[in-house]
Every structure is written in structure tokens, then in C-alpha cells.
Amino acid sequence: AQSVSQHNHHVILSEAASLELGCNYSYGGTVNLFWYVQYPGQHLQLLLKYFSGDPLVKGIKGFEAEFIKSKFSFNLRKPSVQWSDTAEYFCAVLNTNAGKSTFGDGTTLTVKP
Amino acid sequence: GAGVSQSPRYKVAKRGQDVALRCDPISGHVSLFWYQQALGQGPEFLTYFQNEAQLDKSGLPSDRFFAERPEGSVSTLKIQRTQQEDSAVYLCASSPFSRTGNSGANVLTFGAGSRLTVL
């Protein structure tokens, strides 16, 4: 069975600080990787995705993530966070054979103005 | 519709009552997923449909949970004889994903969820 581990449960940063959220997964087959975000009072929505090709992917609002296959990792980064980035962030792995996504427990990011 | 619609948004049930949660996916989306999200945790997979076929129900916690999608569009998640541990947000998501499709169709679009509280 696949699993997803997010290392930080709650991160608190000041505006303009850099962000890195860790995500590791445990499946050796072909995967698609995602970061989803849930802003306060809103639905879960896609932040960025990796299917193949360039392991450095860019998403909305200046976020990026790097897929490192040898480390089974897909860490999320942003060079300078804003107050509006306050949200809960979920890493997810899709097992393309099984057709279903497995989610991590999420990281709550609080950005202080 | 423009997005995934779930109803009711909030449901309070007394222990032992049956509940039904509805999901109306994006029109044309082949795949439909149900997830359960407990407080402070990530979404946990319950079940998955491709059109009307239920391809995977391995995440349903007990035989009190039942899901259907009879015409390949709207889906209903039914919980019989609710227990307090069933209290959670039930998320529905849809995607164009097909096993024979391309990876670009694998993105999930989520609904707002149905928050179930069992007293």
C-alpha cells in the first residue's frame, strides 16, 4: 500500500520568508504527484502537479515543487510567502495502476503579516 | 455544472440513524471519488467509480457504508446506523481520468464536502 508523509504539521512564518514543505511517499511504481491547497473557507484545489518530464514543476501563486525520484520526495517551495498563503497544504500521490490518490495529513501554514 | 456540488453541507444525526450524502460531479467527468476527512487529518480514500462501475471500495470502513452511482453521474454515499466515529467531513471529487486516458486527466476537482456530526 502506498503512503504519504508530510513532515511538518504546522508552520508559522513571517511575510517574505521562504517556505519549504516536505513530502515523502512510499510507492515504487509509476506515480503522479500533486500538491493541493485549502484556503480558509474554501474547497481543496490544485496547486501544482507532476506527471513526467522536468522534475521541477511550477504552480500557481509562485509555488514550485521538485520531484526527486531517488528520495521519493516531492517538496513544495516558495521563495517569499505572503499573508494570503495562509492555508492548509496537502501532498498527494496517485497510483496510476490503482487509479486512486493517497493524501498526506496536511501542513497548516500560518503567515504573519 | 461548473463545479462539484455536494449536499447537504452539514448534517447532524443521532447515533443509529441512516444518512445519505449526495455528490453531483462535473458534467462529463468519468471518475468519481469519495474521501473521508477527520479533524486534523488528510482525506482518506473510501471508494471510486468509473462511470457507473464501482472499481474500488477498499476504503469503506464497514458494511454500514454503501455508495452508488447508478447512471454514471450523481453519486450517493449512504451510512447506515451511524456511530460517533463516523463524524467527519465527506469529500467528493471527480476527474476526467480514465485508465486509457492521459495523465493530464488525473487532477481531482473537489466539492465543498458534507460535514457529518453524529451525536
What percent of chain A stands above pLDDT 70?
100
> Residue A50 sits in a domain of what CATH number?
2.60.40.10
What grid cell was written down for A74? 516531492
pLDDT in tens, B75-109: 999 999 999 999 999 999 999 875 554 555 678 99
Q: Do B103 and A51 touch (CB under 8 A)?
A: yes
The boundaries of the domain holding residue A59 are 4-112
pLDDT at B99: 58
Q: What is the pLDDT of residue B103?
A: 55
Q: If you write DSSP's letter for every residue of A4-46 in order, what string do you get?
A: EEES-SEEEEETT--EEE-EEE---S-EEEEEEEE-TTS-EEE
Angle at A49 between CA A48 and CA A53, to 5 degrees: 130
Residues of chain B in contact with residue A49, where contact means CB-CB under 8 angstroms, are 106-107
A58 Cβ contact list (under 8 Å, min separation 6): A48, A64
Contacts of residue B4, defined as CB under 8 A and 6 or more positions apart, other chains included, come to A43, B23, B24, B25, B26, B92, B93, B94, B109, B110, B111
Q: What string of pLDDT tens digits covers the 113 residues of chain A?
A: 789 999 889 999 999 999 999 999 997 778 889 999 999 999 999 999 998 889 999 999 999 999 999 999 999 999 999 999 999 999 999 887 778 899 999 999 999 98
C-alpha cell at A33: 504527484
Q: Which of residues 36-75 of B touch A (CB under 8 A)?
A: 40-45, 48, 50, 55-56
Under an 8 A CB cutoff, do B107 and A43 touch?
Answer: no
Q: B20-44, pLDDT tens digit by residue?
A: 999 999 998 999 999 999 988 999 9
Query: How many CB pairs below 8 A link A and B?
Result: 61
- The number of domains in chain A is 1
Which domains does chain B possess? 5-100 (2.60.40.10)
Q: Which residues of B touch A6 (CB under 8 A)?
A: 42
What φ, ψ does residue B78 adopt, rounded to 5°? -115, 135
